[in-house]
């Protein structure tokens, strides 16, 4: 067996496999549009969880709002360093966007302790005080 070694080709093949599984488990499944298809398939690719076909709901204006924020140099805040590591920083830098995870920030630790809340909750409070457009990437904690 010959292994695929080019990362882009591996990704392409992975998405072909995902579509094949969707065709097997959900014959006739239709995405609302191309952007929704890309988002849901990326979630499946990241998690190997095909339940995203049913549980991920994308509002009619969500994608346009995200694109607008990115074009206007927003800051993306994550609640984990793991989520931050999965973000394409090269593309964000090209757009003039910033990206931060405040969970380990000393201010976050102090606020969480003071209020008796989680560091994720405190990080959101701190982020809301920052100026400018924001996108939050929050996990399931």
Confidence (pTM) = 0.79
In degrees, rounded to 5, the angle at the alpha carbon of residue 139 between the alpha carbons of residues 42 and 34 is: 25
Known catalytic residue at 117: no
Domain layout of the chain by residue ranges: 7-55, 62-137
Q: What is the pLDDT of residue 82?
A: 87
User: Which DSSP string do the residues of 47-72 spell out, in sequence order?
Assistant: H--TTHHHH----TTHHHHHHHHHHT
CA distance 92 to 89: 5
Instruction: Kindly name the residue from 14, 18, 43, 45 that is annotated as catalytic.
Output: 45
Tens of pLDDT, residue by residue over 43-87, are: 999 889 999 999 999 999 999 999 999 999 999 999 888 889 889
Q: Does domain 62-137 have CATH number 1.10.10.10?
A: no
Predicted confidence (pLDDT) per residue in 3-54, tens digit: 999 999 999 999 999 999 999 999 999 999 999 999 999 999 988 999 999 9
């Amino acid at each position: 067996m010959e292994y695929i070694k080019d990362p882009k080709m591996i990704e392409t093949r992975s998405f072909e496999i995902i579509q094949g599984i969707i065709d097997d488990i959900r014959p006739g499944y239709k995405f609302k549009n191309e952007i929704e298809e890309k988002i849901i398939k990326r979630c499946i690719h990241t998690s190997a969880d095909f339940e995203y076909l049913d549980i991920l709901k994308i509002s009619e204006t969500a994608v346009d709002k995200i694109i607008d924020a990115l074009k206007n140099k927003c800051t993306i805040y994550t609640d984990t360093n793991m989520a931050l590591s999965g973000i394409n920083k090269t593309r964000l830098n090209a757009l003039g966007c910033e990206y931060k995870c405040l969970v380990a920030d000393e201010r976050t630790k102090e606020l969480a302790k003071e209020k008796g809340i989680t560091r994720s909750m405190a990080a959101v409070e701190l982020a809301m005080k920052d100026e400018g457009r924001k996108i939050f990437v929050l996990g399931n904690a």
